[in-house]
Structure 1
Amino acid sequence: MKSLGPLRYFQGLEISDTSDGYYLSQAKYASDLLSSAGLTDSKTAPTPLDSDCRLTPMDGVPLDDPTLYRQLVGSLIYLTVTRPDIAYAVHIVSQFMSAPRMTHHSAVLRILRYVKGTLLHGLHYSARSSLVLTGYSDADWAGDSSDCRSTTGFCFFLGDLLISWRSKKQTVVSRSSAESEYRALADTTAELL
């Protein structure tokens, strides 16, 4: 074995060390993804999804060849390693991998246009952060119009460092917003343990 020096690039992750900590990003990986999707000259989007975006399994016309859709969504899933800002949007479009349609493909392209405008976003891990663990959770009650299940989202911070996050559909249908929030809290604390 031999030392290859400080870690700078590993499987699409770019690691930069500064005097106050580390910065992780996937700018090159995202740039390559935009090139493979043919979006290098496209306009950027201000958000990953429209605020009133409600995708269902039967929206639009089925794609002739779903291969590109599946490749793009799979790549976006890997991009969420350093991009928690797109986790919810990627969670939504990943539900249609078995039978994607044109509207789902359009949503994926919007996520990619958002990524293009935020190419240098990533995670900063400060060397001076405190060791106080804080968690946040939320749920959208019956947010999925096709099966009325809610989506749980949570994140954990160690001091001011984001260390864990997830966006996941709940396994059962909640009868109220309070029940949906309690389920989100239970999922969040179970993740902590």
Structure 2
Amino acid sequence: MIITGDDIVGIFSLKQFLSHQFEMKDLGLLSYFISLEISYDPSGYFLTQAKYISDLLTRAGLTDCKTAITLVDPQTCLTPLDGHLLSNATLYRQLIGSLVYLTVTRPDIAYVVHIVSQFMAAPRSPHYDALVRMLRYLKDTMFHYWAGDPTNRRSSTRFCFFLGDSLITGHSNKQTLVARSSTESVIQIAHIDVFHYHTKHIEIDCHFIR
């Protein structure tokens, strides 16, 4: 049993009561629990899953891999049809499941985990490459502490909940509706080259009409 809170007297009383009802032992301050490593200093509590990441790298055969300083290649654009199908998708799915749990202490990877998890039914080589890139990034940031889809043009929503200055949880999911562009200045798009990348709304409108 883990007892948390800042009421020291209340916690002590509860532990005394429970010790009379059940056979139990006080193990002191929590340091490790279901792969969560907890450390303390005067500024607060720190959670990490460094050993969990190390075990994950071993399972993926990436213990000696080079590290990556960014989570994803900015030029990467994953779709369901690029590359070839993986001959065995089991490892891919297992790693995705492990990464989902890792987001407990690493909300910085939540969005990319959300992206690669969309291809679990039929993962392909580019999807696995993106997964490996994420693992290489995790190797580089193992001891860091952290308490738009081109196929269907749906945006992704991401948010975090804080209690004061402490991060409680994060969430990332794909929106159920397609967000259509509110671009009004067609003349600017036509005459200024740098605005051309905004014209994906034409593609969206085309499919919307269909």
Q: What TM-score bracket applies, with the shorter chain setting the length? A: 0.7 to 0.9
Q: Does 1:117 align with 2:151?
A: no
In 2: Cα distance, 1:101 partner to 1:177 partner: 35
Structure 1 gap segments, 5+ residues each? 125-142, 179-193
Greater fraction helix:
2
Matches within 5 A, 1:16-55: 16-55=39-78
Q: Deviations over 1:107-133 (max 9, x none)?
A: 000000000000012235xxxxxxxxx
Unmatched segments (≥5 aa) in structure 2: 1-23, 184-210
- In structure 2, the residue matched to 1:85 is 108
Of structures 1 and 2, the one with the larger relative CO (CA 8 A, separation 6+) is 1
Q: What is the CA RMSD across the aligned residues, in angstroms?
A: 1.4
Instruction: Give the distance between the partners of 1:98 and 1:112, measured in 2 at CA.
Output: 20
2:156 maps to which residue?
A: 151
Shift of 1:177: 6.2
- Letter of the 2:113 partner, please give it: V
Are 2:192 and 1:169 aligned? no
- Looking at structure 2, the residues matched to 116 and 165 of structure 1 have their Cα atoms a distance apart, in angstroms, of 21
1:122 alignment partner, SS class: coil
Partners of 2:161 and 2:41 in 1: how far apart? 23
Count of residue pairs the alignment pairs up: 160
Tell me the TM-score normalised to structure 2 length: 0.73
Q: Are the aligned partners of 1:83 and 1:121 in contact in 2 as well (CA < 8 Å)? A: no
SS of aligned partner of 1:168 = strand
Contact 2:155 2:174 in 1 (8 A): yes
- Partner secondary structure for residue 146 of structure 2: strand
Considering fraction of residues, name the structure with more strand: 1
SS in 2 for 1:15: strand
Partner Cα separation in structure 2 for residue 123 and residue 116 of structure 1: 15
| TM-score, normalised with respect to structure 1 | 0.79
